Amino acid sequence: MTLATLNLAEGVQLVSFGLLGLIMLVGALGVVLLSNIVYSAFLLGLVFISISGLYILLNAGFVAAAQVLVYVGAVNVLILFGIMLVNKQEDFATVKNAWVGKAATGAVCAGLFGLLSTMVLSHPWTISTVPAAGDRAIEVIGQHFFSDYLLPFELASVLLLIALVGAIILARREYLPDTAIPTEEALTLPEKPRELVAAGSRDSL
């Protein structure tokens, strides 16, 4: 009975891992390939949610909750706000020698793929002998955040602040006039047109 239950749990974990991995890959391809940037932002949120599901399979509940709260609830919403505020309608202009950028992008992607593949194949993937933190996971993560990873943690908050300020500046640029208005004309109000009154009608009043 115990062996059957263990096999069932392993099967559920394998199926869940396959589904979450498939959703993450499809969502990531949609983020890159779709022409509508709003759909890409929503698919990015789906990718973040699938990653949180992988954390749950690794028994990292706090990291999964932080993934949903920070990335889905903050970063992805910030991206959507930036897209909505800076949604400018511009005519498509052809870029000269666009193949150079595409070739460079393909070379960088191929290099990253080769590097990650080499790392995955060369890693021993042995089971760690370090005991799990268990209920002390939040305490251990907090100690690492404020000791070993304090600088990256603060840099991430600075980057988010820069992105927010940049989105506000780009959005406010839409309200600036194309031509400068002279100060005198800006401070004067247009006069109300006067109606001509005949002399006889003025005497009758």
pLDDT in tens, 5-54: 446 578 888 899 999 999 999 999 999 888 888 899 999 999 999 999 99
pLDDT value of position 146 = 85
pLDDT value of position 61 = 84
Residues 94-104 have pLDDT tens digits of 778 888 888 99
Residues 57-93 have pLDDT tens digits of 888 888 899 899 988 988 888 788 877 776 666 666 7
Q: Which CATH number fits domain 1-87+135-177: 1.10.40.60, 1.10.3330.10, 1.20.120.1200, 1.10.760.10?
A: 1.20.120.1200
* Inter-residue contact 18 to 54 (CB < 8 Å): no
Q: Is 17 exposed, middle or buried (0-12, 13-18, 19+ CB in 10 A)?
A: middle
For the chain, which residues make up each domain, given as ranges? 1-87+135-177
pLDDT value of position 202 = 53
pLDDT value of position 89 = 62
* Inter-residue contact 137 to 60 (CB < 8 Å): yes
* Inter-residue contact 31 to 42 (CB < 8 Å): no
Dig out the tokens for 63 from the structure. Answer: 């990291």
Residue with tokens 């199926």: 15
pTM of the model: 0.60
Least confident of 7-11, 38-42, 121-125, 177-181: 177-181
Gap between the Cα atoms of 145 and 157, Å rounded = 13
Gap between the Cα atoms of 38 and 3, Å rounded = 47
